[in-house]
């Protein structure tokens, strides 16, 4: 929901940073994998309840996630690069939640499981829509620079990182925050399914 606004704010700084990275000879895929590894570093830190330090690595992951796209647009986007970016993002999102489950299994495991369950809904509805949109050659007017069709919703990347920040700042409230966000993810899944029905249903159906 907030991604279009966030993109407008960070677009120029990311483009400038991408120029510098390009001059250093780095590729977008290298930035993607580096950011992914930095993000995974947060998991053992969360398990050890080092929440503030874990937040640093979570934010670094998100920074690199923005940089790889800006660099790809400068060097030329590739299908594999877009694929790698999505795969790393989905694994990272779930990994962070697992980190909080490991931090306090007795208290957090159930809420973490419900949240990851909701991620399956948002992820599958997002990717399935993108597949069908590509099949019908439907392009996004909101995210024309993306490698696949980005269908919006209540819980996009900006909202997810906001949720992770709240987790790290208020770990004692993980269960409540996780369940609220899971409910919002559920609403996102429903709206995406309805959008798919409206978009892909033909007269003969």
Domains of the chain listed by start with CATH number: 3-199 (1.20.120.1760)
Give pLDDT tens digits for 61-114.
999 999 998 999 888 888 899 899 999 999 999 999 999 999 999 999 999 999
Q: Answer yes or no: is pLDDT of 3 > 60.
A: no
Q: What angle do CA 62, 59, 83 make, to 5 degrees?
A: 20
Residue 17 is predicted with a pLDDT of: 84
For residue 130, give every residue at least 6 positions away whose Cβ sits within 8 Å of its Cβ, in sequence order, or none. 148, 149, 150, 151
- What was the pLDDT predicted at 205? 45
- Global pTM value: 0.86
CA distance 16 to 166: 29
Over residues 4-21, the pLDDT tens digits come to: 666 677 778 888 888 888
Interval 187-191 mean pLDDT:
95
Task: Note if 3 is an active site residue.
Answer: no
Least confident of 94-108, 145-159, 171-185: 145-159
* Alpha helix positions (H), the chain: 3-23, 28-47, 51-75, 79-103, 105-135, 157-169, 174-200
Q: Given the residues 3, 65, 89, 104, select the one marked as catalytic.
A: 89
Indicate the average pLDDT of the chain: 89
Angle between helices 105-135 and 79-103 (to 10 degrees): 160
pLDDT > 70 in the chain, percent: 89
Answer for the pair 101, 113: CB distance below 8 angstroms, yes or no: yes
**In which residue are the tokens 């980190």 written?**
99
């Amino acid at each position: 929901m907030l991604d279009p606004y966030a993109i407008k704010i960070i677009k120029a700084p990311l483009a400038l940073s991408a120029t510098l990275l390009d001059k250093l000879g780095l590729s977008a895929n290298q930035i993607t994998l580096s950011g992914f590894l930095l993000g995974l570093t947060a998991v053992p830190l969360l398990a050890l309840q080092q929440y503030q330090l874990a937040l640093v690595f979570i934010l670094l992951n998100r920074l690199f996630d923005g940089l790889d796209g800006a660099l790809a647009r400068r060097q030329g986007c590739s299908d594999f690069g877009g694929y790698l970016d999505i795969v790393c993002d989905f694994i990272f999102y779930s990994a962070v939640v697992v980190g909080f489950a490991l931090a306090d299994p007795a208290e957090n495991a159930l809420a973490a499981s419900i949240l990851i369950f909701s991620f399956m809904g948002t992820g599958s509805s997002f990717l399935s829509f993108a597949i069908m949109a590509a099949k019908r050659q439907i392009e996004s007017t909101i995210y024309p620079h993306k490698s696949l069709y980005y269908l919006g919703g209540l819980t996009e990347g900006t909202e997810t990182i906001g949720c992770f920040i709240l987790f790290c700042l208020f770990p004692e409230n993980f269960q409540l925050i996780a369940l609220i966000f899971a409910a919002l993810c559920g609403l996102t899944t429903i709206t995406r399914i309805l959008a798919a029905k409206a978009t892909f249903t033909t007269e003969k159906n």
